[in-house]
Structure 1
Amino acid sequence: MSTKDKHPIALDPEYKIRDNQFWYSDCKFRHFREDKATIDIKIEGLGILTLKHSTTGSDGRKTLSYTIPHDIQEWWITHRGKYVKVELLQVE
């Protein structure tokens, strides 16, 4: 079964887009994705994405976010401060 055919594992009906990363520390399904290298999510108005965990911060602490791919960064920046529905489809 492909990711697009899967039912969501979890849902955040009002995720607030912040800066240039997907901050799972702010997400209602944080507990489903702790310590996962990648996640597949569906973002309202954008579609299905595979996100990779961000690298460790310059201070050595683990970053609680996923990197936004370069090809959608413009969309992400345009929607900063808005609330979108996010569905968690798969974790690896």
Structure 2
Amino acid sequence: MTRPHKHQSHPKVIARLKRANGHLAHVIAMIEEGSPCTDIAQQLQAVEKAITNAKRVLIHDHIDHCLDPDEAGHAPDTASFKAITRYL
């Protein structure tokens, strides 16, 4: 069994994703209620931005703590860096 992989930023990422989840639920309700498309698009933009910001924090934290030899306790892993940058 592998041990949980946690970083100091994970609670902040979780909070951002929960906020985005709330926005998304609101967007669904807006669509079901027949809200104007411009209002829905604006809220979808907010959801997209919240998710993008959460992803950015997670990736930067990974780079800072998993690829920094001083933090990770080993030489940088080029394959891991290439893998995570696919999601930028």
Report if TM-score (shorter chain) is over 0.5. Answer: no
Interval of TM-score (by shorter of Structure 1 and Structure 2): under 0.3
Q: TM-score, normalising length from structure 1? A: 0.22
Q: Which has the higher helix share?
A: 2
Q: Which has the higher contact order (CA 8 A, sep 6+)?
A: 1
Give the TM-score of the pair, scaled to structure 2.
Answer: 0.22
